[in-house]
A and B are shown apart, each in its own frame.
Chain A
């Protein structure tokens, strides 16, 4: 649902999507080490197929995004991860469009970066529970979807979609996705914290 097809948005919107994506990609890739690539590949594989897990929500069909999961596990490298996933979804699943790869990456990648910041901030906090990862993983996972939907809604409204249509079809339909991804990301962050802490972007300071 958060993948916009070709020919819907005004050219200046998807054009600026490409510009933003190119800029963030250039920055994040400059920070990437070759040792990170196998881990990125594994997470990208998960993000890539997540969009196939879809269910009927009210009047429309929605699917998982897993951008929060990418942010929590990869940190800023979630951006190239989302970009590759979006490219492959566009060409292999005809999910979204080719001209909109840039803007779709912004819609999912920027929330992934923000979810990473939330997770990072949460790891420094002492909230009096033993597993910060679960709580802040869940918050990061849910926030990432909510922000992605918000960005999409704004772009559709700017393009001239009707407000009621956008809010009911896009925003309301994604409430179950927000919940599912919050639970998923929280559980998986807690699991990695115990079993394989190096899979997380940030380690808890003890």
Chain B
């Protein structure tokens, strides 16, 4: 009788162990990345933000484009939106009274650095270079004309 009692206790303990094992192994840590918000920043050349501008977000899927969201930038020229499930390619158009900018991007590709353009002082120098060249050629031609006379 004692043996049966202790045996049944053993069985009970084993059964409990079996029940508990899966729950122990379920402590594996699971991770999943999910981009829940995309920030769009709009600013003018020179760095001033573009507040209150109309924003249109187009989602691109299988090279098919459709209007996904419409809105306005906040006072810092920022606009946030949640991406559509399963769509990673977007085209963004920001427009405000004659100013318009466009950006096409893919969420999996990462963000482009902000200053991909030629530095401003270089653009200015290039411009001055052109004008100095035009002016110089003209000055040369008019000097030659004067000499010929």
**Interface residues of A, Cβ cutoff 8 Å to B:** 1-8, 34-35, 37-38, 40-42, 44-45, 48-49, 52, 54, 56, 59-61, 63, 84, 88, 92-95, 97, 152, 156, 161, 165-166, 169-170
Q: Determine if A95 and B45 form an interchain contact, defined as CB atoms under 8 angstroms apart.
A: yes
Q: Determine if B141 and A34 form an interchain contact, defined as CB atoms under 8 angstroms apart.
A: yes
Task: For residue B111, give the distance in angstroms from its CB to the closest CB of chain A.
Answer: 19
Residue of A nearest to B139 (CB): A38
Q: Determine if A54 and B96 form an interchain contact, defined as CB atoms under 8 angstroms apart.
A: no
Q: Bound state CA distance, A151 and B96, in angstroms? A: 17
Q: Determine if B100 and A5 form an interchain contact, defined as CB atoms under 8 angstroms apart.
A: yes
**Interface residues of B, Cβ cutoff 8 Å to A:** 44-46, 48, 50-52, 95-101, 117-118, 120, 123-124, 126-128, 130-132, 134-139, 141-142, 145
Residues from chain A with a CB closer than 8 A to the CB of B134 are 37, 41
Q: Determine if B127 and A49 form an interchain contact, defined as CB atoms under 8 angstroms apart.
A: yes
Q: Determine if A60 and B96 form an interchain contact, defined as CB atoms under 8 angstroms apart.
A: yes
Q: Determine if B46 and A161 form an interchain contact, defined as CB atoms under 8 angstroms apart.
A: no
Residues from chain A with a CB closer than 8 A to the CB of B132 are 41, 45
With A166-B97, A169-B96 already in contact, the answer to whether A38 and B48 are too (CB < 8 A) is no
Query: Given B95, B98, B124, B136, which contacts A52 in the complex, CB threshold below 8 Å?
Result: B124
Query: Given A7, A41, A54, which contacts B46 in the complex, CB threshold below 8 Å?
Result: A54
